[in-house]
């Protein structure tokens, strides 16, 4: 069972991709929704808003503990921000630059080579962050110039872009197979 943090942002889109892959999933709105999860998706949206809502309803300490204790977790865009910020989940050793590619109007799409996937991935960037000063234990899966935009670290996968906004489900499949260890 995969949880999709459902406080704000691109929530239904992630659930649709999981549904299409035949992966059981549920919305996570409060701490009891975390019980028995095999993995968690932290969607894109607005990281400050998502964090405020998590603190407000008690999800923040509960998720932080689970992620730091090894729960397979996939963060996209704002999810990458939360997984990286030292003051948030602090699981990826890197400096995160929020809105690193510019504001809403500088949103863009690009076909990217991503390590671990066969063939290019059409990636949608919306007020996307990037990572820099990435630690040696962080595996970089993709970059644009010097900007790191897809990584893994232990139980965590994070992308600066929105894989749930395109019909290509390879990154979700990659997460489920390599992190959650379920066959899809
Ligand atoms: N810039 C946003 C933030 O820092 C993330 C944007 C997104 O998730 N599309 O929260």
- Chain centre to alpha carbon of residue 151: 10
Pocket test for ligand 1, best of 75, 101, 127, 166 (most atoms within 8 A of CB): 127
Q: Is the pLDDT of residue 111 over 90?
A: yes
Is residue 164 part of the annotated active site? The answer reads yes
Among 98, 106, 160, the mutation site with the greatest number of ligand 1 atoms within 8 A of its Cβ is 98
Please identify which of the residues 162, 172, 177, 181 carries the catalytic annotation: 162
- Which pLDDT tens digit goes with each residue over 116-127? 999 999 999 999
Residue 51 CB less than 6 A away from ligand 1: no
pLDDT of residue 82: 98
Rounded Cα–Cα distance for residues 113 and 98 (Å): 22
| 144 alpha-carbon distance from chain centroid | 18
Q: What is the DSSP letter of 162?
A: -
Question: CA 150 to CA 156: how far, in whole Å?
Answer: 11
Among 13, 14, 35, 77, the one annotated catalytic: 77
Range scoring the smallest mean pLDDT among 1-5, 52-56, 73-77, 101-105: 101-105
Dig out the tokens for 148 from the structure. Answer: 């790191």
Residue percentage of the chain with pLDDT more than 90: 98
Distances in Å between the alpha carbon of 180 and those of 24, 84, 110, 137, 174? Answer: 12, 20, 28, 20, 9
pLDDT at 104: 86
- The answer to whether the predicted template modeling score (pTM) of the entire model surpasses 0.90 is yes
pLDDT digits (tens, 9 = 90+) for 26-40: 999 999 999 999 999
CA 94 to the chain's CA centroid: 15
Beta-strand relationship, 39-42 and 147-153? unpaired
Q: pLDDT band for 98, please (50, 70, 90 cuts).
A: very high
CA distance 78 to 75: 7
**Structure tokens that stand for 100 in this block:** 């690193």
Six token digits for residue 81 = 């921000």
> What average pLDDT score do residues 167-183 get?
97
Structure tokens at 101: 């590619």
Do the Cβ atoms of 139 and 156 come closer than 8 Å? no
pLDDT at 99 over 90: yes
Residue ranges per domain, the chain? 2-178
Q: Is 85 in the pocket of ligand 1 (CB under 6 A)?
A: no
d(CA 22, CA 32): 23
What band does 93 get if pLDDT is binned at 50, 70 and 90? very high
Half-sphere exposure of 32 (CA within 13 A, CB side): 0
The mean per-residue pLDDT over the stretch 56-60 comes to 97
* CATH class of the region 2-178: alpha beta
pLDDT for position 105: 86
172 is catalytic: no
Whether residue 47 has its Cβ less than 6 Å from ligand 1: yes
| Total residues found in the chain within this entry | 184
């Amino acid at each position: 069972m995969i949880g999709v943090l459902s406080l704000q942002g691109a929530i239904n889109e992630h659930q649709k991709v999981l549904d299409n892959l035949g992966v059981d999933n549920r919305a996570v709105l409060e701490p009891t929704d975390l019980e028995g999860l095999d993995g968690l998706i932290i969607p894109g949206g607005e990281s400050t808003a998502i964090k405020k809502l998590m603190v407000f309803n008690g999800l923040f300490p509960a998720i932080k503990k689970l992620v730091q204790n090894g729960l397979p977790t996939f963060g996209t865009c704002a999810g990458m921000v939360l997984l990286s910020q030292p003051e948030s989940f602090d699981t990826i050793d890197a400096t995160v630059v929020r809105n690193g590619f510019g504001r809403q109007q500088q949103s863009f799409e690009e076909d990217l080579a991503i390590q671990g996937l066969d063939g290019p991935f059409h990636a949608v960037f919306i007020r996307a962050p990037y990572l820099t000063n990435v630690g040696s234990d962080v595996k970089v899966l993709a970059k644009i110039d010097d900007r790191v935009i897809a990584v893994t670290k232990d139980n965590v996968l994070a992308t600066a872009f929105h894989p749930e906004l395109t019909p290509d489900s390879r990154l979700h499949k990659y997460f489920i197979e390599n992190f959650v260890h379920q066959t899809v």
